[in-house]
Amino acid sequence: MEYTPQRASQPGPRAAPELVAAAAALDGVLVPELRGAPPLGESRTGAPEPDVQGVLSAAAALEAAGARLLRLEIAPLSDPWQAPPDPAGRRFKSGCAPVLALERARDALGSGEAEAVLIHGADPLRTGYSRAERRQRMDIWPGRFGAGQASIPQAYTRLVEAWLARHGIPRDAFEGLADALLERCAATARARGITVDLAPLRAVRVTPLFRLGDCANPDVDFRGAALLLGPRESRRAQTQAALRDALAPFGWGAAASARGRRVWLAGVANRTRPDGPDHLKALARYAHLAEAARSALQQAGLAPGAPLRRAWQQGRLLLEAYTCFPVVPLAFLVETGLAEGTVASLRAALQTAPLTVTGGMNLARAPWNNPVLHALAVMWARLRQEARVEAGLLHGNGGLGGWQGLAVLRAGG
């Protein structure tokens, strides 16, 4: 029997889980927001910042002190794609996996099953697999599009065609939108210190609709972790005492001016539909993305449409749209009300504000099931340190879009 998440109502700040620590490292290097450099020009408070091992050590210390700790894993590429889900709901796969794990964490902390939840992902995509093995494992619909054809880009090309037909968008206009998206991601990546050369990424065609720069780049070794706590009133006294020692390296118990702002999981929702190339027309509707977005935003006291758009335009809202292929972030903009399904509206939205905090899944790399865990660490750091930012949206997309999830983080004192 598969684990079934609870359907949450708006929890309010007291009941929302707190994200107390998050970290991510790519090719053994901690993300820049956690290396002491001011993120995107913002000043810092001097709060201590965790590395991945620090988050794991804090969780182990809590567990050793007797806290009820639930460990959740993001599956690596070595887990077969077609394997059934973990019935206990402790191991998750697909690009939506971290959002699924956040929903599981919320349920466990809210029900008293756990006092703390650790979400951990590790995948040595660059050094742990040969090129041939990596390609073979990523061919999740083998043989569907002919010998030698990578199944994911081919399937997404068909999905784009269905999405364009639904919205009446010409192919050449879509290519212009994809280029504007790449430019927007490049600006964020450069601001984070990532070297970007778009010329070769534009020059190579992967499919008739996708260039190399439009596709996720998984050539990276990744480790990431996040630690969440339930409401204080749900913790036992021994757990509360253990927290002071385990989380002291992250500013726990320090004055707000020293630790940075606190960050809460204010809303999270996932929705699924049958996935794969046989379901293109239904998936291209993205109705389940709209449902997940409405639910998560409602839990967080937000609403799709104009108010959300204003917050984004004014820099009060951070986004991490899932950018595996351009159709996915474009659909995200439409289904959250940040844009309408027209070329003019989408073009204007792409010129409004960053769609990602990372720089996207090509330029910032895409560790298979872990891109959202990477973004979670970056967004957590920025929400702690940037006073003008009130909230952040993390979008997850799994398979050909059969899994859609949204998590809402909010910052406070």
CATH number at residue 396: 3.40.47.10
Indicate the average pLDDT of the chain.
Answer: 90
Tell me which residue of 8, 104, 5, 22 sits closest to 301, measured CA to CA: 8
Q: So what's the pLDDT on residue 149?
A: 60
pTM over 0.85: yes
Q: So what's the pLDDT on residue 35?
A: 78
Reported as a single tens digit per residue, the pLDDT across 116-165 is 999 999 999 999 999 999 999 999 988 777 655 668 999 999 999 999 99
Q: So what's the pLDDT on residue 11?
A: 47
Cβ–Cβ contacts within 10 Å for residue 245, how many? 14
Cβ–Cβ contacts within 10 Å for residue 301, how many? 15
Residue 169 lies in a domain: no
Residue 262 lies in a domain: yes
Q: Kindly give, in sequence order, each residue whose CB lies less than 8 Å from that of residue 347, ignoring residues fewer than 6 positions away.
A: 176, 177, 180
Identify the domain containing residue 77 by its residue range.
12-128+217-412
Q: So what's the pLDDT on residue 231?
A: 80
Query: Is the pLDDT at 37 greater than 50, yes or no?
Result: no
Kindly indicate the confidence band of residue 48, based on its pLDDT and cuts at 50, 70 and 90. low
Cβ–Cβ contacts within 10 Å for residue 199, how many? 7
Residue 203 lies in a domain: no
- Residue 345 near residue 329 (C-beta atoms within 8 A): no
> What does the pLDDT average to over 6-11?
54
> What does the pLDDT average to over 89-104?
97
Reported as a single tens digit per residue, the pLDDT across 346-358 is 999 999 999 999 9
> What does the pLDDT average to over 274-298?
97
Residue 393 lies in a domain: yes
Kindly indicate the confidence band of residue 303, based on its pLDDT and cuts at 50, 70 and 90. confident
Q: So what's the pLDDT on residue 233?
A: 63
First to last CA, the chain: 41
Burial of 194 (0-12, 13-18, 19+ CB in 10 A): middle
Tokens of 383: 């929400």
> What does the pLDDT average to over 196-218?
95
123 or 251, which is more confident? 123
Q: So what's the pLDDT on residue 304?
A: 87
CA distances from 296 to 89, 220, 243, 265, 275 (A): 20, 30, 28, 10, 22
Rounded Cα distance, 200 and 345, in Å: 29
Query: Is the pLDDT at 297 greater than 80, yes or no?
Result: yes
Residue 201 lies in a domain: no
Residue 143 lies in a domain: no
Query: Is the pLDDT at 170 greater than 70, yes or no?
Result: yes
Residue 98 lies in a domain: yes
> What does the pLDDT average to over 59-76?
94
Total structural domains within the chain: 1
Tokens of 119: 């979400």
Q: So what's the pLDDT on residue 235?
A: 73
Residue 386 lies in a domain: yes
> What does the pLDDT average to over 169-181?
98
